[in-house]
Amino acid sequence: MEQILDLEIVKLVIGLLAAFVFVVFNALILTWAERKVAGHMQLRIGPKEVGPYGLIQPLADALKLLGKEIITPRNVDKPLFYLGPILIFIPVLVAFVVIPFDSFLQVKDINVGILVVLAFSSFTVLAILMAGWGSNNKYSLIGAIRSIAQSVAYEIPLLLSLLAVVMMAGSLSLKEVVEAQKGVWFVLLQPVAFVIYFISSVAETNRTPFDLPEAESELVAGYHTEYSGMMFALFFLAEYTNMFIVSAITVTFFLGGYQGPFLPGIVWFLLKSYLLVFVMMWFRWTFPRVRFDQLLNISWKVLIPLAFLNLLVTGGLLKL
Amino acid sequence: MVEKIKAELKATFADLAIAEESYPQSGYHLSVDLTAKDILNVARFFDGRGFYLAVELCVDYKDYLEIVYIFSIHSSLCKVKATLKLDPVQPVAPTLSGIFDCAYWYEREIREFYGVLFDGHPNMTYLFLHEGIDFYPLRKDRVPVSEQDKQELNSYSPEQREDSLSINMGPQHPSTHGVLRVVLRMDGEYIEDASPVLGYLHRMQEKMAENRTYQQFLPNTGRMDYLGAMSFNLGYVTAVERLTGIDVPARAHYVRVIATELNRISSHLLWVGAYLADLGGLSPFLYVFDDREHILDVLEAVTGSRLTYCYFRFGGLYNDVDDAFVLGTKAFVARMRGRFSLYEKLVGGNVIFINRTRGIGVIAKERARKYAVSGPVLRGAGIGMDLRKAEPYAAYPEMDFEVPTGKNGDALDMYHVRVKEMETSLDIIDQALALLADGPFMVEKAPKKLKPRKGDLYHVVETPRGELGIYIVSDESDKPYRMKWRVPSFSNLMAFPELAKGNLLSDAVAILGSLDLVIPEIDR
């Protein structure tokens, strides 16, 4: 038995299963939290009827979505249309493999951990393009096109800002990055990189004020206009999971990961992550949406040069 | 001004029949009888002197059709009615769409309602109706639409090109606020051409008016502009009172002003919320609804309804207001004054909001005149014309208030104009409340059967969206012979294709929002 448990592949499968459970659970909590946050920011109180404080509400919503018919419009490109929402989900699961929830709680510590996360997160764009193109709907297509342009623009500052931290930690492994923050968190040493990373990650997850691919006042619902029932729910699930992942990466790279006094590491980790998720929700219910050209300008004209400069200064200081 | 225009008209067109009219009675100062050969020259004459074409309409007098043009000017009070008589069998008139852009839609409307052909008009196709209608609805006698006319009316389809994408924005789209449809021809994210398609909410209110007594039509007025129902009510009752010579007691005047201004604030508040929702910020919507709720509560207590009011009557009000109304209004005014700083922080000062609206949808003064835009859109463009000041009605002559204007005519200016207008509305309410004294709220012996004088009247009021003009032709019966509603959103929307061209899709949404359209009002 011990032997079986020690096998890499078994560990991976168990890890992925745990990740899947966590993803679903996380989405349930976050949909509830988002509605509560939205409610309180909008002079309302949010869900309160189903269960205490409306906690069972997401479960009821999920059941409703499961019961809905999955409508396939005529003239859609069926393979792409069905694959889109499923593929958007895969990179999300993979990212969980390398994230260190605690010093002992990590499915696999890969020595190029961050590269795995970033490589797979780029995969999301492909899924969105499949959904947008396969839907055979003009709004979906424009949403998908926007999404690609946005991802291409924001992955660069994302990577560059993380690179500065990697240089300081001297490792691509997420665990070693966390361990390198024993004394001082990188947010203090790399404040510019932190800001760049956080802005870019909001854009990567298509959240307001960068929610152009699904801008409802312009594109109805963007790339997921034609999806219904559980297919739509998968996009939803992916969005909330992505929010958690980018927050988890931020915590790992800038906020000391699972480190903190008194409480167990996992509690610190989740606490910090969900705090960042809350900030993202706060953004959403406060800001209007930026325009497409402004969105690209922020990335290409401000964030990328700034990230390069930051990298240069970091490199120079390290050499000294 | 009137004398000067009259003299100049006489000097320029020697053989023109020009008559001076009584402005208090008819709503215009001069009337000019035109012939088909004069009309273009006369239009150019008014265009050259800075007039705008307030409305172009048609009346069927059975023996002849009459096209009525109302020319008006922003800078002073001078209104000219020009008429052109047409043969009812084969009505043809020259088009004014080359001189005043706003004639483009008015003439299409006349074409489908009366069958008048406009010579030289680029697009004589359906505006509101569709090919299922086989007679001209506003003609007094049943005049069938010939097959050839039907084909011509139905021939329009927005231009399509190989290398561009055409998108239907609407009729069910989150940011067209109702059932407006705009066909956009796009080059990537950029708009090459936008053509609005109207008529999804068309109810033929003008025909309904001809078949009902003046009283019976009153509730319909609130259904046109459901957000500014009080202004439409007020416009209608003041017009009919002007036509029938009913005097309204002072108390009723003040209450009318208070109710209308409250309604104006609620309309502008809703606009702020809806506009921010268009731009992607959803929270302000709930904040404005919180404020709006207070207005609705106050108005509901006296009028009985929350949206489509029908509170005014010919000669006064439906019922008197009580102390609760006065106290509630005062409480609201006090509350609202403190809210503007919140909106400034939440919306007006937001960097993203400013960058989304600054320099977007800029409408130049000259173009604003050509399109006859009105209300906050016109004032945003820098022309400080407010009909509450220019042609005061009800108790507005006694009110002292500012007319806010913008500088650049962009969407940001229109936001600021509307917010400042809410503040001036509060000032007006304050003054009206101070003047509100005990007295009758309804004229004694209000006539059961109205006896309007024979003739016509063009009456204008300022609604939250701009100039509402009501043109009534009366034949002394208790039903109007013809009633034309010149609605503000109609001409404001006309400017949209020009404003949207060359802009991004997101900007088109921002521009459409800044015009503050209410679709049932456009479609009537």
User: For chain B, which domains are there?
Assistant: 2-153 (3.30.460.80), 165-197 (no CATH), 205-523 (1.10.645.10)
C-beta of residue B21 within 8 angstroms of C-beta of residue B31: yes
The pLDDT of A164-190, averaged and rounded, is: 81
* Residue B144 per-residue DSSP state: B
C-beta of residue A94 within 8 angstroms of C-beta of residue A156: no
Please indicate if any CB of chain A lies within 8 Å of the CB of B138.
no
The structure tokens listed for B442 are 């309804």
Among partner residues A212, A220, A291, which is closest to B174 by beta-carbon distance?
A: A220
Edge-to-edge strand list for the sheet holding B65-73: B17-20, B30-34, B80-86, B65-73, B51-60
Size of interface A-B (CB pairs under 8 A): 78
Residue B171, preceding peptide bond in cis (omega within 30° of 0): yes
Please indicate if any CB of chain B lies within 8 Å of the CB of A16.
no
pLDDT (0 to 100) of residue B357? 87
One digit per residue, the tens of pLDDT, for chain B of length 524 reads: 878 888 887 888 777 778 778 888 888 888 888 888 888 888 888 888 888 988 888 998 888 888 999 988 888 888 888 888 888 888 888 888 888 888 888 888 898 888 888 888 888 888 888 777 888 888 888 888 888 877 777 777 766 677 777 888 878 777 677 788 888 888 877 888 888 888 888 888 888 888 888 888 888 888 888 888 899 999 999 998 888 888 888 888 899 999 999 999 999 999 998 888 888 888 888 889 988 999 999 988 888 888 888 888 888 888 888 888 889 899 999 998 888 888 888 888 888 888 888 888 888 888 888 888 888 988 888 888 888 888 888 888 888 888 888 888 888 888 989 999 999 999 999 888 888 888 888 888 777 778 888 888 899 999 998 889 999 998 888 888 989 999 998 888 888 888 888 888 888 888 888 888 888 888 88
Phi-psi region of B458 (alpha: psi -120 to 50; beta: other; left: phi over 0): beta
Residues of A in contact with B290 (CB under 8 A): 43
Among partner residues A220, A289, A294, which is closest to B280 by beta-carbon distance?
A: A289
Please indicate if any CB of chain B lies within 8 Å of the CB of A218.
yes
What is the C-alpha separation between B480 and B221, in angstroms, rounded?
14
Please indicate if any CB of chain B lies within 8 Å of the CB of A44.
yes
Please indicate if any CB of chain B lies within 8 Å of the CB of A78.
no
What is the C-alpha separation between B399 and B386, in angstroms, rounded?
13
| Contacts with A, B 283-312, CB within 8 Å | 283, 285-287, 290
What is the C-alpha separation between B48 and B7, in angstroms, rounded?
15
User: At residue B331, what is the residue type?
Assistant: A
How far apart are the CA of B204 and the nearest CA of chain A, in angstroms? 30
Give me the phi and psi of B105, to 5 degrees please.
Answer: -80, -35
Please indicate if any CB of chain A lies within 8 Å of the CB of B164.
no
Inter-CA distances, A90 with A27, A207, A234, Å = 15, 20, 11
| ipTM for the whole complex | 0.80
What is the C-alpha separation between A143 and A148, in angstroms, rounded?
9
Please indicate if any CB of chain B lies within 8 Å of the CB of A102.
no
The pLDDT of A206-222, averaged and rounded, is: 75
Residues of A in contact with B505 (CB under 8 A): 142, 218-219, 292
Residues of A in contact with B504 (CB under 8 A): 291-293
Among partner residues A138, A146, A289, which is closest to B165 by beta-carbon distance?
A: A138
Residues of B in contact with A41 (CB under 8 A): 283
What is the C-alpha separation between B218 and B213, in angstroms, rounded?
9
pLDDT (0 to 100) of residue A1? 56
**For A27-73, what is each residue's pLDDT tens digit?**
888 888 888 888 888 888 888 888 888 888 888 888 888 888 888 88
pLDDT (0 to 100) of residue A203? 86
Q: How confident is the model at residue A226 (pLDDT cuts 50, 70, 90)?
A: confident
